Structure 1
Amino acid sequence: MWHCSLFSFSFSFCFLFFFLLIMNQNSLTIKAFSVDLINTTCKQCADKSTILNCDFCVSSLQAVPISHATNLQGLVIIAMGLANQNATNTVSSIDTMMGSEAFDPFAMGCLKDCSELYTNAVTTLKYSLKAFLLEDYATANVLVSGVMEAAVTCEEGFTEKEGEVTPLTKENYNLFELSDIALCIINLLSLNLPPMSS
């Protein structure tokens, strides 16, 4: 078993370490196993959810080269890494928005709330990855669910004022979907269920 220390945590390091591990395995076996792993996993997750978009799942995971030579555990790490990148970038975007004069006091209040939610989401994702790597799937499940709730709360904050346009809809959607992908695969692993063949 391997894990990255929370205090020296780096998603990039975890990706690299995971890649080095799988490269020690038989490459032909990996290739044969993972030819359609992303497609079948995303389809299975989308079939279980009324919210998860299968195309988004496939395109997001396939965009990371290492996903083509990994297993379900690797896909969870990739999804969490993408969610972490989204949340981190969104915090920076919110800071930029708050530094402009384009928003009224209500929207500024919502942006401040979203900044706190996303900052907490980054931390939560770090804890969730640590729990996942320790095979504490129950804790990882709860933490990732919390990240999804943060995206929903951010989005809903703007709707409290009629006619208010939400400037973070794309970011909220992406964070929710990426977290949902990780959550679904964690649940598959906790049930020891392989993805269904297409």
Structure 2
Amino acid sequence: MRKTFTIVLKIIFSVYFLFIIFIQVYDQNFFESEKVGKIKNKYALPFFEQNWGMFSPNPPMGNHYFLVKFESGNIESDYIDIHKKVREKSFNSLFSIDQRIIKYFAECYNDIVRKKSKNINIEKNIHSSHGLESILNYSKIVLNNQRDFLEKTSPNDSVFVKIYLIDEQLNKDIYKDKTYTKSFIELDRIYLTTTENGK
């Protein structure tokens, strides 16, 4: 009887903790469920989420990403989220190499914010920020895919880029539904390339 009780108890605990692990990885967005989301927000997070406030008085709560907009004379592109495709690919696997790119984007974001907080004019002195240099190089790759924009330009036209650093802050009350407050930093009209290079 005692052995049976022990086995049953182990099964219950195993199922319970597997369920908690399942709830914790729910944010990977492999599927959506309103019921699972409520259980996660109202039960799993309050009891099992690590309190980073123990290690940091102001832990990160939200998302950081870049939007870019290309300009050449009076021609403008749409706003482009350069993270979008990388994020979508990263959700396809728990061990996606795209996670490294996302992490590097975060480092670029932090470097730009640090330099701006020190009143360094990185728009005029691009080499003072390795983060900005990296985003500009990546923007050239993005530009090559903007056929509609490039077809409206003439050979040797200068292409400028506006870069927006989006700060999407998550509400800190874990008992409430997720809501975000957005703010941004704008880096205005930085020279990128000429259209002969873009094409």
Q: TM-score, normalization: structure 1?
A: 0.31
Higher relative contact order, chain-length normalized (CA < 8 Å, sep 6+) = 1
Q: TM-score, normalization: structure 2?
A: 0.31
- Kindly indicate which of the two structures has a greater share of residues assigned to helix: 1
